[in-house]
Amino acid sequence: MLNSTQKQCLLDYAMAVIRNNLVGSPCPAPEDEAYQVKRGIFVSLHIDGALRGCIGYILPYKSIVESVKEMAVAAAFRDPRFPPVSKSELPDLQVEISILSEMIPVDDPSEIQIGRDGLYVDHPEGSGLLLPQVAVEWNWDVPQFLKHLENKAGLPAGALRDPESELFRFSAEVFSTK
């Protein structure tokens, strides 16, 4: 979808948004027609390979550029699992952007392919999403991926078999400053 120059521009923009948020200055958005498409977006932050923040939009609520701006700030300063990013962390901060495809309903777990698919579950008692790269990073097979998805959603084991569960798969265009 995006070429390497466009990807690098978005990564630089996400980093500039985080940096400028710390010092209270505005950050002009890059102008490129490709960034105006509405897509689900996740921004993940890492330091030395360890997760430092990750927040995103599952559905395409806003343009890519608007979503990257909002999710970079959210991942850096509002992920409840971590304290806000500090100025001293900026030199070590790595940014990863995941641009999501449409959600595709999963009728049979055999449709799921590790490395290609991320998973999203919507259940009356909770919902959760795991990006495609998570299963690869942790070397999970499909049953492990599904188990961790239930856990992420705060659901009991076996909840995905509940008729009220809706399971979706999606792909993502993932790029980072690594």
**What are the pLDDT digits (tens) for 14-65?**
999 999 999 888 889 999 999 999 999 999 999 999 999 999 999 999 999 9
Could you tell me if 11 and 25 lie in one domain? yes
Count Cα atoms within 13 angstroms, Cβ side, for 61. 11
Say yes or no: 53 and 115 in one domain: no
Cross-strand partners of 63: 38
The answer on 93 and 111 residing in a single domain is no
Long-range interactions of 19-24: CB distance < 8 A, separation 24+:
19/90, 21/73, 21/76, 21/77, 22/85, 22/86, 22/87, 22/90
9 and 95 fall within a common domain: yes
Is residue 177 assigned to a domain?
no
Type of residue found at 40: G
CA 97, CA 42: separation in Å to the nearest integer? 6
- Asked whether residue 20 falls in the same domain as residue 84, the answer is yes
Helix, strand, or coil (residue 137): helix
Reported as a pLDDT band with limits 50, 70 and 90, residue 1 is: confident
- The reply to whether 94 and 57 lie within a common domain is yes
The CATH number assigned to the domain holding 132 equals 3.30.1490.150
Q: Give the 3-state secondary structure of residue 47.
A: strand
In this predicted model, what pLDDT tens digit does every residue of 109-133 receive, in sequence order? 999 999 999 999 999 999 999 999 9
131/94 same-domain check: no
Contact of 134 with 173, CB cutoff 8 Å = no
Burial 25-58 (b: 16+ CB within 10 A, else e): eebeeeeeeebeeebbbbbbbbeeeebbbbbbbb
List b or e across 92-109, with b for residues whose CB sees 16 or more CB atoms inside 10 angstroms.
Answer: ebbbbbbbbbebeebeee
Is pLDDT above 80 for 88?
yes
- pTM strictly above 0.75: yes
Q: What is the mean pLDDT of residues 138-163?
A: 96
Helical axes 64-77 vs 4-23, angle rounded to 10°: 50
31 and 91 in a common domain:
yes
Q: How many angstroms from the chain centroid is the CA of residue 50?
A: 15
For residue 22, which phi and psi values (nearest 5 degrees)?
Answer: -70, -30
Q: What is the mean pLDDT of the chain?
A: 95
Kindly state the percentage of the chain with pLDDT values over 90. Answer: 96
